[in-house]
């Protein structure tokens, strides 16, 4: 396999010790859910203003290595007309782009879905590269329901899509983040979550290797392993840490550039505490850090409340959340 040092440099920048990735890649409709938390209508100017607050908060470059953007956000700019990608790049933060186009039902597989977005992907990457993106993300959704769900067939279909996306990204000099999100909603046990996550990651890496994706130029974005949010016994940070690392050691090759976590609807506090417990277990074969969306944005949204007079407080809340997650990634909380 031909080595692409550009990819390794980008991956190393994204995985710098003590930093993590902000996932600000909400589609326009999901961005509307964030805005509804602060009683603002889902209009382009409010979405733009929300992102400007995120990307101009002081000192976040100390804790954030990259930001995942959505197509429309990558094309937007500050009030002074500076493109968001340029704002981030000037701060030493790598701009990234979410490229999956959401999920569709997988016919014949009740409740299971497959992510879309491979059409014209090489052309899209060429444009995104010109707009400043140097990494990308594709999310697959794996839901735990009964003993039958998820099926291997659905996992395999999603992993083939992830592998094809990763191939095209690497050929475009863009580092792929592969995100098979094992959904936290449900009443499944910790043991079941561990089994499903291990199986999913084993199939994923087998498929990536089969399709000759360069794992040294790829980042895994994973769920933490924990019981479903409706399960009677909730998982302690120590249990999450042990189960999650057991899962990774059973499934993630050591050549993978690194692993970042999604927050998956956990509270900001819980996401941070769990990350801290994982980091406390010591050095692992891969750099491990955070790539949260909701868990980073929620405290900022609460401080903002959609009011211009709270904008500085909102930026400070964001900075403080990023600092706490940075400390957690080092096991220092």
- Residues acting as catalytic residues: 179, 221
Q: Of 117 and 285, which CB lies nearer to ligand 5MM in the complex structure?
A: 117
Instruction: Enter the DSSP assignment of 215.
Output: G
Question: Residue 292: is it exposed, middle or buried by C-beta count within 10 angstroms (0-12/13-18/19+)?
Answer: buried
Task: Give the C-alpha distances (Å, rounded to integers) separating 327 from 60, 186, 320.
Answer: 13, 30, 11
**CA–CA distance, 45 with 99 (Å, rounded to integer):** 23
Instruction: Specify whether the CB–CB gap between 263 and 23 falls below 8 A.
Output: no
Angle of CA points 153, 154, 156, to nearest 5°: 65
Listed residue (57, 67, 71, 78) closest to 29, CA to CA: 71
Using the rule CB under 6 A, is 263 a contact of ligand 5MM? Answer: yes
Contact region with ligand 5MM (CB under 6 A), list: 2-10, 21-29, 54-62, 106-114: 21-29
What is the pattern of x (binds ligand 5MM, CB under 6 A) and - over residues 24-43? -xxx--x-------------
Q: In angstroms, what is the minimal distance from the CB of 195 to ligand 5MM?
A: 21
Least gap, CB of 73 to ligand 5MM (angstroms)? 11
Binding-site member from 262, 300, 318, 328 for ligand 5MM (CB under 6 A): 262
Spatial CA neighbour of 192 closest among 157, 166, 223: 223
User: Rounded distance, CA 55 to CA 237, Å?
Assistant: 30
Cα gap 160→287, rounded to integer Å: 25
Residues numbered 207 to 236 that lie near ligand 5MM (CB under 6 A) are none
Nearer to ligand 5MM, 6 or 278 (CB): 278
Structure token pair of residue 219: 């980042």
Q: How far is 100 from 81, CA to CA, in rounded Å?
A: 27
Residue 36 or 148: the one with the smaller Cβ distance to ligand 5MM is 36
| Stretch 102-161 residues interacting with ligand 5MM (CB under 6 A) | 102, 139
Sites for ligand 5MM among residues 173-212 (CB under 6 A): 181
Residue pair 179/139 in contact by the 8 Å Cβ criterion: yes
Q: Which of 66, 150, 180, 264 binds ligand 5MM (CB under 6 A)?
A: 264
Q: Name the residue whose CB lies closest to ligand 5MM.
A: 30
Nearest to 243 by CA among 190, 292, 187: 190
Taking the least distance from each CB to ligand 5MM, the nearer of 99 and 252 is: 99
Stretch binding ligand 5MM (CB under 6 A), from 18-26, 58-66, 84-92, 236-244: 18-26
Considering CB under 6 A, how many residues would be counted as binding ligand 5MM? 16
Kindly tell me which of 4 and 30 has the beta carbon lying closer to ligand 5MM: 30
Return the SS3 of 138.
Answer: strand
Q: Which is nearer to ligand 5MM, 286 or 292 (CB)?
A: 292
242 binds ligand 5MM (CB under 6 A): no
- Told to check if 298 binds ligand 5MM by CB under 6 A, we report no
How many CB atoms neighbour CB 116 within 10 A? 12
- Closer CB to ligand 5MM, residue 30 or residue 206? 30
Q: How far apart are CA 206 and CA 200, in angstroms?
A: 10
**Range 88-107, binding ligand 5MM (CB under 6 A):** 98, 102
Which spans of this chain sit near ligand 5MM (rule: CB under 6 A)?
23, 25-27, 30, 98, 102, 139, 181, 262-264, 292-295
């Amino acid at each position: 396999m031909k080595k692409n040092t550009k990819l390794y440099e980008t991956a190393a920048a994204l995985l710098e010790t003590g930093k993590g990735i902000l996932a600000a890649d909400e589609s326009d409709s999901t961005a509307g859910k964030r805005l509804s938390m602060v009683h603002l209508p889902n209009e382009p100017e409010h979405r733009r203003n929300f992102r400007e607050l995120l990307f101009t908060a002081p000192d976040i470059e100390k804790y954030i290595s990259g930001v995942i953007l959505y197509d429309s956000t990558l094309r937007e700019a500050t009030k002074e007309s500076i493109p968001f990608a340029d704002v981030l790049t000037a701060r030493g933060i790598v701009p990234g782009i979410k490229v999956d186009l959401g999920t569709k039902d997988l016919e014949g597989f009740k409740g299971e879905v497959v992510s879309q977005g491979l059409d014209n992907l090489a052309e899209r990457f060429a444009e995104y590269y010109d707009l400043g993106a140097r990494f990308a993300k594709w999310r697959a959704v794996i839901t735990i329901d009964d003993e039958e769900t998820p099926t291997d067939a659905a996992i395999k279909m999603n992993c083939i899509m992830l592998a094809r996306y990763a191939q095209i990204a690497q050929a475009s000099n863009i580092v792929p983040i592969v995100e098979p999100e094992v959904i936290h909603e449900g009443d499944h046990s910790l043991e079941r979550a561990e089994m499903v996550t291990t199986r999913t990651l084993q199939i994923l890496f087998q498929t990536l290797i089969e399709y000759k994706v360069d794992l040294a130029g790829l980042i895994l974005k994973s769920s933490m392993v924990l019981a479903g949010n409706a399960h009677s016994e909730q998982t302690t940070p120590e249990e999450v840490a042990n189960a999650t690392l057991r899962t990774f050691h059973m499934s993630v090759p050591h050549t993978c550039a690194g692993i970042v976590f999604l927050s998956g609807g956990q509270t900001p506090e819980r996401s941070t505490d769990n990350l801290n417990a994982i980091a406390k277990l010591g050095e692992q074969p891969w750099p491990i850090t955070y790539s949260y969306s909701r868990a980073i944005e929620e405290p900022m949204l609460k401080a903002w409340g959609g009011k211009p007079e709270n904008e500085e407080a909102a930026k400070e809340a964001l900075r403080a959340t990023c600092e706490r997650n940075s400390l957690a990634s080092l096991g220092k909380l």
